[in-house]
Structure 1
C-alpha cells in the first residue's frame, strides 16, 4: 500500500502540536540504506553487487527515516566506507537537500573509479540535526575500468612464445606478466595453473612447474566474470640442458677457397640441428646434422656462426658464436674531404688508414702511380684526382689490392658567397635583423660548386654594402641592422689573393618606431547627432595611406573621414617600405542595451545604509534627484534616501535615461495569521519586499491535505484572492518560499474568517 503524502503527515503533525499547545518530543530515526532496483531500467530486483564501468554506473539505494522533522536547511548525505567497511574516511556518494519532508526516498549514485572490494558499506548522515544511520549490509563493489582480455608474456615483454609454449631448462624459472594493461601494478589478479586458482594476487608470477598458465583481473567473486579479462594461455614445459657448443677455436681465420667444417660437441642422440650465421638460419633443422661446411668460395663467408639443438626431453639451446674471419679482406678509409680546393702556392696533405695487418701503399694521381710515394699520407701542391692503393703482404691469402676513394683536388675559377638572415627575422615586424655569411663555394670552370666554407672563411677580407654603398667599419662576416632608417638592400663583398666575389642580395625592412593614433568625436551613431569624424595624429599630406573599415579599403586620399556606418575603422601608412598601423575605432549603432547597470532599477535598501549603483558602457554620466538637481557626474552613485532618481548616460551626442526607484526594505516578519473577513484589515498575506515582487522567488501554498492551492513568482501580496473559498472558520495552510530550487522560508498560515 502506498504511504500517505509526507507533506500531509507534516501538516497533521503541525496542527496537532498547535492544538495541544505542546511540542513533539523525541529525535529523528535514520534507518540503514538498502540496495534497490534501477527505476530507469524498469525497476526490477535490487542489486547485490555493483560492477560499474564507464559504460554503466547508475545505482540506487532506498532510505527511510522517522519524524520529527529535520531543520529546513538540512541535507541528507549518502556515504561509502573503505573496502573493509570502515568509515574512518568516508566518501560522499550523493547529497539531497530537497527531501526534508520525505520519509521514504531513493539516492542515486555512481561508484567512484577507485573502488574495488567485497565488503563496502553505506550509511546516511543528516546535517541539521547531525545524525548518522546504521551502516548498510556489506556489498561487493568494483569499478571495472579495464574490461578487455589480458595478454601475458615472459617478463611482460610483449613477445608471446610461438604456439604459446615456453620451455624451461635445468630447473630454471620464468616470470609471467600482462603487457597490455596500463598501470598494471594497481590491480589484483587471479592466476590459474591448468584450471586451479593459485594463491598469488600480484601483477606477475614466477613459475617453474609445468602447466597451462593464464590470468584475469580480480574484480571479486561476482564482477570478475562479467569483466571479460581472462588472458591467453602459456604452456610451461621442462627439458634437460645439453650444454651445446661448437668444437675448436672461437676465432678462426680463413682464406678464400679454404676448406673448413664446424662441428657440434654433441652427436648420436637423435637431436635436430639448426645452423646460424649472424643470427639468421642457414641450414636445418636436420636430424643428426651436427656438422656444417663453411663455403669460403662466397665473398661474404666471414661472420658469427652458431648451432641450435632441440629434441625429445632436451631443451631448445643455441651455442655461443664462433667468429670466422676472411684473412684476405681488409678496409681502406680516406681521411680527408672528397673534394679539395687548392689555391695557388698552397699545399695540402692527403692520408688513408687501413685494417690490413702488414700493408704497403702506393699513391696515384690521375690514374698513374706517383714515384716514391709509398706511405699512408701524401703532400700535394697540384690539382688532379688522387687515391692510394693498399696491398696486404701477410696472412697466407692471395688477395687483390684495394684502392681508397678518390680525392678530387681542384683550382677554383671563382668563388660564391651566400648570405642569409641569422635567427628569426620577419619583415616589418622584427625590431632588428642580423645578416651573416653562411656558405663559400668554390666554382670550377664547368660551374661545379664545392663548399669550402670551413677552409677559407678566415682567409677572405670582407666589406658590407648598403644600397650599393660601402659601410664604414663593417668588415666582418656578420652585420646587425637595428634602425628602420637603415632599411634597404645589403650585399657582402669578399677578396682573397686575386679573387673578388659578391654575395646575393638581402633586403631588410624594420618597422617604423612611431605610434599612429586615431581620434574621433564619438563612436555611437544615432539620429540627429553630429557626424563622427576620424582624424590621424600624423600629417598625411606627404604619406601614402589607406583608410579601412572591417578590413576593406574605403579611402586613400582624404586625411580625415566621416564614419557613416557601424564597423571597425583603421588607418595604415606605408613608410620606409613598411606599414604603420593605427589603433582601431569601433563605431556602433545606438542601442539602449549599451548602458548596463549592476543593480536593478527598482532598488531596495536598508534604512541608514548606502547602496551603490554603477553604470557602464557610456562615455559620461549625470545623476539627478527628484528635484532635477545634478548630484553626481561619476559612473556610480551611493543611494541613502527613498525616492526617484534620474540617470542620463551620454554616448557622444546620444543619450539614454534611466529612472532609479529607491525604497527602504521592510523589516516586519512573515505573518502566520490573517483574518480573511473582508474588513480590509489583515485580509491578505503580506510578505516583506525581500520575498515579494521578485521574478526569481517562488511562493507556494498548500492546504492541510498537502495539495498545492497557490504558486506564484513575482508574488504581488494578493493571497487569498476574492474567489478563494474557506469551508471552516479557522484553517491552517503550509507555505514554502524558494529561490532556484533552494528553500528560503517555510512555515504555516492560519486563516480566520
Structure 2
C-alpha cells in the first residue's frame, strides 16, 4: 500500500511537470473580431455599418483563436468600445461558455440603444486564462430610435407657415427647431441650407440669411439616410422694416356721430393694409387701403386700433396702437353693499365712483330726489331705497344721465346668531371643545338675512346656555367645555337694545377620563392548564357592558369571563354618553413554535469564551444544567461549559422545553510530528479538547511493528513521558482514538530527536 501511494505521487508529479512543459510551449492567440454575414438574411456579405432599430437588431462577428486549449471554465466575452474606439469602460455585447474547443465561431449581438458613433471597435476577452484580443477595425454603429420625418417650425412652436415661407425683417433672425421629436436635445442633427451641410449639430438653428432650410438626425455617414428623418423645408426670405405708424394722436376722444379717419403713415408703395380693433380684424387685407373710417354712430366704436402692412418691398409689420375713446360713455360704480340693515340711532354712508370727466350727482330716496344730496357720497339714518343719478357735463358730447345700482336700507325685524366649533372636534374622542359666535344676521320683515357681524359683534351682551339653562360666568362670545360631565347641547343668547337673539344649538359629547383596562392570568390556551380568566380594572356593578371576542359580543352579564377560544378580547362599558373601551388582549393557541431562540440547539464554543443564547416569544424563562440546577431566569443565558442544558419557556399556564447541547471547538488539528529532544518545545503529543481529558475516549499508540506502547482514557496530553525510549533519530508510531469501540481518528506520529 505504501509503494502504491508513492507511485501515485510520482505519477502526479510527472503529469504536472508534463503539463507545465506543455503550457510553456505557447499561449493562446486571440485574433481580432471581424464583421460577419447574418445567416438569417438573404445574401452572403458581412455588414459594414450597424444601423440598428427596434425592428431590426441582429448582428454577427467572426472570431478565431489558436491553441493551446483554454480552461474548461473559460468564457469568451465580446466587448464594445466607446464612440471614439477607446476601451476605458468597455461594454459587454455577448458572452459564450460552450466554445472552449471551437477555434472559429460567430458571436451574435444586439446594438445597445444609446450607441451612436462612427468609430466603434470590438474585442474579445477570455476569462480563464485572462487574455484580450486586438481591437477590431472601426465600424459605424447607430441605434436608430427615431425614424420618422422631422417637422421644423419657428421656435419649435409647431406652427408651420402657409407655403413654408418665413420673412426675416430689419436684419433680425429667427430660430428653427424640430417640434415633433421627444427628448430632442439628446440627438445630433445635420442642418442644411439650400442643399449645403451646415456645421451646426444642435437641436436648434438660428438663421438670418435667405435660403431653403431643412434638417435630419445625424446617424452617421451610412445610417442617416436609412433612418428617413429628413424634415420639411422652411424658405427664409429677408426684407426691410418701414416703420409703419398711424398718423395723429395715440389717444383720441370722440362723440357719437363724429367723423374720424385713421391714416397709415406710409402710402403709395403698393402695400397691402389690414386694420385691427382690439386685436380683431375690422378691415382688409386691402391693397393700398391706407385709411380706415371709424363709424362712431354705432355702440362700442371705442377701442384700440392698429394697422398692419405687407408687400414685396416691405416686411410684415404692425403699427403701435391708437386708443379711441367714447366721450359720451361713462360708468357708475356703487361703493357700498346692496342691502344695509340700519339700527335706530345708526348712520350709514352711501357712495359711488364714475368715469365721467365732469360729473354732477343727484341722490334719490324711494324714487324721489333728496334736496341737497349732490355729492358722490351721502350719509343717512333713514330706511328706504336709494340710488344716485350721474350726468356728464364735460367733453362736448350730449349723453343721457346714468343711475347707479339701488341700495336698500332697512331696519331689522330680529337678529340671529350662528355658533360653530373652533378647531378640531370629534364626538366621543375629543377631551375638550371650544364654541364660538361666528355670524350675526339681521333678519328683515321679509325674512331676508344680512350678515352684520363686523358691525355689531361688540354691541351685544352675551349669555351661553347649557340644556336651556344659563352657564354661570360664560358671557363672552366663546366658551370651552373640558369636563365630560358637562356634555349636552349648547347655545348662545344675546341682547341689544330691545332685540334678543338666539343661536343654533351645538351638541358637545366629550370622551370620559375613565381608563378601562382588562387583565388576564395568561394568553395561551393549552390542554390541562388552568383556565384563562379576564378581569376588569373598573367595577361593572350597575353598568351596562359588553365582553367582545374578535368584535362580537360574547357576554353582557358576567364581570369576569373565562376564555375558551382563541381571539382578541375586549371590554366595552355603554352606560356613559360615550362608550368606554378597554385595551385588547389576544389569546393564542399553544404552539411550540411560539418559542424561538437566536442560536441552534447545538452550540460549539471555544473553551474559555462565552456564547449567549437569547429566547423570545414567551412570558418567562428558566435555564437548567444537566443536574437540574436553575442557572437563570432571564430571556438569555451565556454558556461557557460543555454539556447539556434545558430551557423551559412559560406561556402563562403552558410551557415549552428545549434541550441545548454545548461542545468545545477544536482550535488545532491532531499533530503528526513531535520533537522529543527535551527542549520543552513540541516535546509532547497534544490532542485537541475533543479527544483529550475524556473519560469515554481511549487513546492507543503503536510502534512501527504494531506493538502497543501506550493506551489511556482521559488522555492528559502526556505522551511521551520520557525521551530515552527513542533509540533512533526519526521513529514512526501509529495512533488510534476510539469511543466505545468506535474509531474516531487514526494516523501516524513521527518523533524527531
TM-score of the superposed pair, with normalisation by structure 1: 0.74
- The corresponding residue for 1:557 is 557
- The corresponding residue for 1:708 is none
CA distance in 1, matches of 2:336, 2:568: 65
- The corresponding residue for 1:520 is 520
Listed as ranges, the matches of 1:258-273 within 5 Å are: 258-273=258-273
- The corresponding residue for 1:4 is none
Q: Alpha carbons of 1:281 and 1:48: their partners in 2 closer, same or farther (altered >3 Å)? A: same
Listed as ranges, the matches of 1:621-660 within 5 Å are: 621-640=621-640, 643-660=643-660
CA distance in 2, matches of 1:653, 1:59: 73
CA distance in 1, matches of 2:146, 2:96: 35
Q: Could you tell me whether the CA contact under 8 Å between 1:211 and 1:236 is conserved in 2? A: yes
Deviation at 1:506, TM superposition (A): 1.3
Q: Alpha carbons of 1:15 and 1:245: their partners in 2 closer, same or farther (altered >3 Å)? A: farther
Deviations 1:361-408 (Å, cap 9, x if unpaired)? 000011111112111111101001111100001111111101111111
Q: Could you tell me whether the CA contact under 8 Å between 1:51 and 1:141 is conserved in 2? A: yes
- The corresponding residue for 1:176 is 176
Q: Could you tell me whether the CA contact under 8 Å between 2:415 and 2:443 is conserved in 1? A: yes
Deviations 1:35-88 (Å, cap 9, x if unpaired)? 89999999x99998788899999999989899999999x999998766545566
CA distance in 1, matches of 2:136, 2:83: 13
- The corresponding residue for 2:328 is 328
Deviations 1:445-488 (Å, cap 9, x if unpaired)? 11101111122212222222233333344333223334434433
CA distance in 2, matches of 1:262, 1:296: 13
CA distance in 1, matches of 2:597, 2:35: 51
Q: Could you tell me whether the CA contact under 8 Å between 1:414 and 1:443 is conserved in 2? A: yes
Q: Alpha carbons of 1:196 and 1:625: their partners in 2 closer, same or farther (altered >3 Å)? A: farther
Deviations 1:422-458 (Å, cap 9, x if unpaired)? 2332223334333222211110011101111122212
Q: Could you tell me whether the CA contact under 8 Å between 1:191 and 1:215 is conserved in 2? A: yes
Q: Could you tell me whether the CA contact under 8 Å between 1:75 and 1:95 is conserved in 2? A: no
Q: Alpha carbons of 1:151 and 1:476: their partners in 2 closer, same or farther (altered >3 Å)? A: farther
Deviation at 1:215, TM superposition (A): 3.8
CA distance in 2, matches of 1:40, 1:574: 84
> What's the secondary structure of 2:329's corresponding residue?
coil
Q: Alpha carbons of 1:435 and 1:325: their partners in 2 closer, same or farther (altered >3 Å)? A: same
Q: Alpha carbons of 1:579 and 1:636: their partners in 2 closer, same or farther (altered >3 Å)? A: same
CA distance in 2, matches of 1:665, 1:422: 72
- The corresponding residue for 1:461 is 461
The answer to whether structure 1 residue 235 and structure 2 residue 249 are counterparts is no
CA distance in 2, matches of 1:107, 1:630: 71
Q: Could you tell me whether the CA contact under 8 Å between 1:17 and 1:23 is conserved in 2? A: no
Listed as ranges, the matches of 1:283-322 within 5 Å are: 283-322=283-322
Q: Could you tell me whether the CA contact under 8 Å between 2:493 and 2:501 is conserved in 1? A: yes
Listed as ranges, the matches of 1:143-182 within 5 Å are: 152-157=152-157, 159-162=159-162, 164-178=164-178
**What is the aligned length?**
655
> What's the secondary structure of 1:578's corresponding residue?
coil
Listed as ranges, the matches of 1:316-715 within 5 Å are: 316-574=316-574, 576-606=576-606, 609-640=609-640, 643-663=643-663
Moved more, 579-588 or 437-446: 579-588
Moved more, 395-404 or 477-486: 477-486
> What's the secondary structure of 1:577's corresponding residue?
coil
Q: Could you tell me whether the CA contact under 8 Å between 2:38 and 2:59 is conserved in 1? A: no
Moved more, 454-463 or 184-193: 184-193
CA distance in 2, matches of 1:119, 1:440: 83
CA distance in 2, matches of 1:322, 1:569: 85
Listed as ranges, the matches of 1:55-134 within 5 Å are: 83-85=83-85, 90=89, 117-119=117-119
CA distance in 1, matches of 2:515, 2:48: 75
Q: Could you tell me whether the CA contact under 8 Å between 2:30 and 2:131 is conserved in 1? A: no
Moved more, 605-614 or 450-459: 605-614
Q: Alpha carbons of 1:524 and 1:178: their partners in 2 closer, same or farther (altered >3 Å)? A: farther
Q: Could you tell me whether the CA contact under 8 Å between 1:32 and 1:136 is conserved in 2? A: no
Q: Alpha carbons of 1:642 and 1:53: their partners in 2 closer, same or farther (altered >3 Å)? A: farther
Aligned-pair Cα RMSD in Å: 4.6
CA distance in 1, matches of 2:124, 2:281: 71
Where structure 2 has 5 or more consecutive residues not aligned to the other structure, the ranges are 1-10, 671-753
CA distance in 2, matches of 1:65, 1:665: 52
Deviation at 1:580, TM superposition (A): 3.0
Q: Alpha carbons of 1:164 and 1:76: their partners in 2 closer, same or farther (altered >3 Å)? A: same
Moved more, 213-222 or 536-545: 213-222
> What's the secondary structure of 2:454's corresponding residue?
helix
Moved more, 511-520 or 635-644: 635-644
Q: Alpha carbons of 1:589 and 1:99: their partners in 2 closer, same or farther (altered >3 Å)? A: farther
**Which structure has the bigger radius of gyration?**
2
Moved more, 513-522 or 632-641: 632-641
- The corresponding residue for 1:683 is none
- The corresponding residue for 1:734 is none
> What's the secondary structure of 2:579's corresponding residue?
strand
- The corresponding residue for 1:689 is none
- The corresponding residue for 1:745 is none
> What's the secondary structure of 1:441's corresponding residue?
strand
Q: Alpha carbons of 1:435 and 1:316: their partners in 2 closer, same or farther (altered >3 Å)? A: same
CA distance in 1, matches of 2:627, 2:95: 53
Deviation at 1:300, TM superposition (A): 0.9
Greater relative CO, 1 or 2 (CA 8 Å, sep 6+): 1
Moved more, 341-350 or 221-230: 221-230
TM-score of the superposed pair, with normalisation by structure 2: 0.74
CA distance in 1, matches of 2:69, 2:407: 105
Moved more, 220-229 or 353-362: 220-229
Deviations 1:569-592 (Å, cap 9, x if unpaired)? 222334652233322222222333
Moved more, 129-138 or 400-409: 129-138
Deviation at 1:625, TM superposition (A): 4.2
Deviation at 1:288, TM superposition (A): 3.0
CA distance in 2, matches of 1:363, 1:149: 72
> What's the secondary structure of 1:371's corresponding residue?
coil
Deviations 1:699-732 (Å, cap 9, x if unpaired)? xxxxxxxxxxxxxxxxxxxxxxxxxxxxxxxxxx
> What's the secondary structure of 1:454's corresponding residue?
helix
Deviation at 1:92, TM superposition (A): 7.4
